[in-house]
Amino acid sequence: MIINIKNFNLEQIADSGQCFRWRKLDEGKYLIPAYDHQVTVAQSGEKFEFSCTGEEYKKIWEHYFDMKIDYGRIIDAIDDNDTFLKEAAAYGSGIRILNQELWEMIISYIISQNNNIPRIKKGIEAVCDRYKAVVCKETECQPMRENADKSIKNNVSKNIKEEAGQSKKELCADKTTNDIKQNENVIYGFPHLADIEKNGGRESLSELGLGYRDEYIWLMCQYEHENTDFFERLRKCDYEHSMKMLMEHKGIGKKVANCISLFGLHHLDACPIDVWMKKIIDEEYDGVKPAWMSDRYAGVYQQYAFFYKRDRK
DNA sequence: GGCCAGGAGGACC
DNA sequence: GGTCCTCATGGC
């Protein structure tokens, strides 16, 4: 299916540091896994071709790409006197804040701490490859196991929930797993807690080259195992409370909690302060934290600033 | 080969 | 409450 939309640029989002698993197939063309599904999207200006049906786009991808928010309006709200942010927003005007899976964001940003982006990607890929949780073949885009639908219900917003039951068709994961490894158009899904527990647990995590972070991940697995309503409670919280709940966990400090709040819970007022934001405060604002970092759209502006500063290093 | 990476925990003051 | 040190590992 084809759509036209402004303020949407695949390459910018892929390089914005919010998603680590997109696979570039060609110029302006990406293979994107999420919610135990995958889709190929090809961009030509403001025209986008999705490999899925319109029905699936409505059910999953419209929400995933945050298509209902007008990012032009968020850019227009920037203070005219703030030259740096205006330039940054113009430069990265195709960035959107994706609605990604909460569990995946928690694990991904635990892995991200004191780590560089290429190695974060490598670590996350190692996690997915190790547990071989769910595989979705290109264009079929079907959940490949029983609880895939459940996962969607748990993770996607309400309007999507209502239709999720319709997507279940034939499953063929086990049969095709071995062939699929050779096919670059197929990606393993992000493992759920049960996949990690069933396939090696604590010891398997320590074999993935994640450094000291594997312990934090395992602690989170254990907590989630014993507190199955954790995500549900998190989703009901506002930004302030989600930060508090997240930071009670070992391995999640202020920066990681902000990333999870922004990318996993879509709190657009969350503003992760990492080494790049510190550099921006220092070099662009004479050491004084700019007002936009406390704005209701701070997380969006943070992404523009992060992308701009890092891309032009 | 040293410094850095979308940091955080812990000890110490 | 700050400030330092350490943590595992690879990218550059």
The percent of residues in chain A predicted with pLDDT above 70, rounded, is 83
Q: Are A270 and A301 in contact (CB under 8 A)?
A: no
Nearest-angstrom CA–CA distance, A23 and A42: 12
CA of A34 to C1' of B12 (A): 45
Q: Are A190 and A128 in contact (CB under 8 A)?
A: yes
- Would you say the C-beta of A311 is within 7 Å of strand B? no
Once rounded to an integer, what is the mean pLDDT over residues A123-141? Answer: 78
Worst-scoring range by mean pLDDT, A155-159, A218-222, A247-251? A155-159
Average pLDDT of every residue of chain A: 87
- Measured CA A71 to C1' C1 distance, in angstroms: 39
Mean of pLDDT values over A283-296: 95
Q: Are A261 and A240 in contact (CB under 8 A)?
A: no
Q: How confident is the model at residue A183 (pLDDT cuts 50, 70, 90)?
A: low
pLDDT band at residue A194 under the 50/70/90 scheme: very high
Confidence of residue A185 (pLDDT cuts 50, 70, 90): low
Average pLDDT in the A272-278 region?
Answer: 94
Q: Tell me the pLDDT band of A187, cut-offs 50, 70 and 90.
A: confident
List residues bridging with A188 in a β-sheet. Answer: A135
Q: Which of residues 164-223 of A touch strand C (CB under 7 A)?
A: 209-212
Indicate whether this model's pTM tops 0.85.
yes
For range A77-89, the mean pLDDT: 98
Q: Is the CB of A165 under 7 A from strand B?
A: no
| Residue with the two structure tokens 């920066």 | A255
Cβ of A119 near strand C (under 7 Å)? The reply is: yes
CB of A17 lies under 7 Å from some atom of strand B = yes
Query: Cβ of A149: how many Cβ atoms within 10 Å?
Result: 18
Mean pLDDT over A282-299 rounds to 95
Can you tell me the distance from the alpha carbon of A137 to that of A176, in angstroms, rounded to the nearest whole number? Answer: 9
pLDDT at position A40: 95
- Alpha helix segments (H runs only) across A137-287: 146-155, 158-161, 173-180, 193-198, 201-205, 213-226, 230-236, 239-247, 254-263, 275-284
In angstroms, the CA A167 to CA A143 distance is: 7
3-class state of residue A136 by DSSP: strand
CA A78 to C1' C8 (Å) is: 41
Integer distance in angstroms from CA A218 to C1' B13? 33
Indicate the pairing of strand A135-136 with strand A47-50: unpaired
Centre a 10 Å sphere on the Cβ of residue A311 and count the other Cβ atoms it contains. Answer: 13
**What does the pLDDT read at residue A175?**
34
| Nearest-nucleotide field for A214 (CA, C1') | C8
Give the CA-to-C1' distance from A113 to B4 in angstroms: 13
**Hunting for tokens 């254990």 — which residue is that?**
A222
Residue closest to B6, CA→C1'?
Answer: A274
Please compute the mean of the pLDDT values over residues A124-143 and round it to a whole number.
Answer: 74
Determine the distance from the C-alpha atom of residue A69 to the mean position of all C-alpha atoms in its chain, rounded to a whole number: 17
Those nucleotides of strand B lying less than 7 Å from any protein Cβ are 4-10
- C chain positions with any atom within 7 Å of a protein CB: 7-12
